[in-house]
Structure formats: C-alpha cells, structure tokens
Amino acid sequence: MDTSKRKNITSLLQRTPVNWQKVLSDCIASFDCSTGTLHFLETDSSLLKLQAQIGIPSFLLPKVSEIPVGKGMAGIAAERREPVEMCNLQTDTSGVARPAAKETKVEGSIAVPLILDDVLYGTLGIAKPVPYEFTEDERKELMAIGAEIARVLS
C-alpha cells in the first residue's frame, strides 16, 4: 500500500465528524478493491451495525445491515479477532461466507476486526471482483487501519 494513501486515511480519521463513507472509499481504493463494508459493534446486542458500504447490491442491504458476531465473514472476524479471508468467495464451500454473500459477485475478500487495546469496535471488509489472496503485509496494514478506526471510536 502506498504510504500517501495511508496518510490520507489517517487524515480523514482526524476530522470531526468523520466521513465514514469516504474512509471506506479510500480503503477500497488503496487496496485496489471494488466493494466494502464498515460495521460498528453495538455492545449491548452483540450486533455489527452497518456504518458505510460501497458496491453492495441494494437487495442485500437488509442482510448486511445487522450481522451477529460469529456469523458470516465479518461476524467471524469479530469473534476470532483476526482477519478472515477468501481467495474466491464464489467457489468457497467452507460455510464461513453466508449464501447471500455470493450475490455480491466479488471473489477475493477479507474482513478484519477493528480492535484497540483488546477491545472490539467493529469490522472492515473489502473485496475484489477477481480471485485474490491478500498478502501478509496487506493483512497487517488492514489491521493497522482497523486499529486507527477503533481509536476514533474509543
């Protein structure tokens, strides 16, 4: 990831109020992705609530607006507190991705938890329209971005 792009995301997070749609848009662009979601944890219900999205078909929005911790890629990333990735969501048979996720038409996808000081604040998910395996450096960078987002939410 280009460091200037990371600096741009960091500067977006320093604004008040934070434009979460723009933060997500810049994250997606920085990793050459086409689709993404940003969910914040509602602690009293243990639901991940959709804060921003790009590229999710409108008919799927009701299914991704609230995600229980432990369900789907975002929910499992939140539960495990680590990245959950699929090289090709379209051909995945692990059961991690919910059946409706295939309707996004994305393939290479990753969801990372937003964690700061071992406290979960939500998840960030991005995806490409082609099969793709995120590198270790990309996973670390996404986790660092997640920690920056969590710092704003804390």
pTM of the model: 0.87
Q: Which CATH architecture has domain 3-153?
A: 2-Layer Sandwich (3.30)
- Give ∠ CA 31-133-76 in degrees, rounded to 5: 90
Statement: residue 88 has pLDDT above 70: no
What pLDDT does residue 23 have? 95
In this predicted structure, the answer to whether residue 13 has a pLDDT above a threshold of 80 is: yes
- Band (7; pLDDT cuts 50, 70, 90): confident
pLDDT band at 100 (very low <50, low <70, confident <90, very high): low
Q: How confident is the model at residue 129 (pLDDT cuts 50, 70, 90)?
A: confident
Give the residue, 46 or 124, on which the prediction is more confident.
124
| Mean predicted confidence (pLDDT) in 128-133 | 86
pLDDT confidence of residue 52: 97
Predicted local distance difference test score (pLDDT) of residue 63: 87
Is the pLDDT score of 74 beyond 70?
yes
Tokens for 2, please give them.
């280009």
What average pLDDT does this structure show over 117-143? 92
Task: Say whether pLDDT at 78 is over 90.
Answer: yes
Sequence ranges of the domains in the chain: 3-153
pLDDT at site 66: 95
Check residue 104 and give its pLDDT.
55
Residues 7-20: what's their mean pLDDT? 90
